[in-house]
């Protein structure tokens, strides 16, 4: 049993990946708390059960991933992943914090929610490929698939814990507090990224040239995006 557990969590023996995994787990939980809070804000508080508004904000937030996928893969190939993630995570922190403060102040409008969700969706579109490939730079090649599997487990834990925690926070405090929790969770990822030891990283060489946009992104080597 100990040997099986050691194999399942082998990537966590790598200090850089262990720090990153902890930050990503906190962020995944915070993201799902925020999704519950945002949906509650739109559906119950701002529109009084408008299914159209709820569907529209989901579209605004997630449509950027397929629309921008050629460029997001190119950015992940051409620029340092950690630097890219620090930019995207900072953008998502700012949009989440803005939404939280506007909600707590009682001044939030539906169009502001749409706009902030759209900006956060754009940042998330660039964040995903960079995060996906960062795992391959933190662990040795034999552990890449294990690291990807742990990323998937982190996402699923967030999907299980986050909505339940979000419901408790909304019932006990407010929607705005739930969004503040998500804002704080981005700090966990930023702290983890800052704490990574560059000397223990294995960065892949950037792809250059006119064919980089049409060519296969290096993200295809490590599996799907998990958060």
Q: What tens digit of pLDDT does each residue of 32-91 get?
A: 999 999 999 999 999 988 999 999 999 999 999 999 988 998 888 888 889 999 999 999
pLDDT along the chain (227 residues), means of 10: 60 92 94 94 91 92 90 87 93 95 93 95 92 86 90 92 95 93 94 91 63 42 39
- Domain interval for residue 183: 14-198
| Per-residue pLDDT at 200 | 87
| Per-residue pLDDT at 208 | 56
| Per-residue pLDDT at 181 | 94
Looking at the domain assignment, is residue 154 inside a domain?
yes
| Per-residue pLDDT at 224 | 38
Looking at the domain assignment, is residue 6 inside a domain?
no
| Per-residue pLDDT at 205 | 61
Instruction: Give the chain as a 3 state SS string.
Output: CHHHHHHHCHHHHCHHHHHHHHHHHHHHHHHHHHHHHHHHHHHHHHCCCCHHHHHHHHHHHHCHHHHCHHHHHHHHHHCCHHHHHHHHHHHHHHHHHHHHHHHHHCCCCHHHHHHHHHHHHHHHHHHHHHHHHHHHHHCCHHHHHHHHHHHHHHHHHHHHHHHHHHHHHHHHCCHHHHHHHHHHHHHHHHHHHHHCCHHHCCCCCCCCCHHHCCCCCHHHHCCCCCC
| Per-residue pLDDT at 6 | 55
Domain count, the chain: 1
Looking at the domain assignment, is residue 219 inside a domain?
no
| Per-residue pLDDT at 48 | 84
Looking at the domain assignment, is residue 50 inside a domain?
yes
Looking at the domain assignment, is residue 192 inside a domain?
yes
Looking at the domain assignment, is residue 83 inside a domain?
yes
CATH code, domain with 183: 1.20.1250.20
Query: pTM score > 0.85 for this model?
Result: no
Looking at the domain assignment, is residue 218 inside a domain?
no
Looking at the domain assignment, is residue 70 inside a domain?
yes
């Amino acid at each position: 049993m100990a040997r099986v557990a050691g194999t399942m969590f082998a990537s966590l023996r790598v200090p850089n990946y262990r720090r990153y995994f902890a930050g990503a787990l906190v962020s995944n939980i915070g993201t799902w708390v925020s999704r519950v809070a945002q949906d509650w804000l739109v559906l119950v508080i701002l529109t009084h059960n408008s299914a159209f508004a709820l569907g529209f904000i989901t579209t605004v937030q997630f449509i950027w991933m397929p629309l921008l996928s050629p460029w997001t893969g190119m950015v992940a190939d051409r620029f340092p992943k950690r630097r890219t993630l620090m930019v995207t995570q900072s953008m998502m922190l700012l949009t989440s914090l803005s939404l939280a403060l506007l909600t707590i102040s009682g001044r939030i409008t539906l169009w502001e929610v749409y706009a902030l969700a759209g900006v956060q969706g754009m940042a998330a579109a660039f964040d995903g490929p960079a995060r996906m490939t960062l795992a391959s730079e933190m662990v040795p090649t034999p552990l890449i698939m294990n690291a990807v599997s742990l990323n998937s487990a982190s996402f699923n834990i967030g999907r299980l814990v986050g909505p339940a925690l979000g419901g408790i926070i909304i019932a006990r405090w407010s929607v705005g507090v739930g969004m503040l929790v998500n804002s704080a969770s981005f700090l966990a990822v930023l702290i983890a990224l800052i704490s990574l030891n560059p000397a223990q990283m294995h960065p892949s060489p950037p792809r250059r040239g006119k064919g980089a946009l049409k060519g296969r992104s290096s993200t295809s080597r490590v599996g799907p995006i998990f958060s």
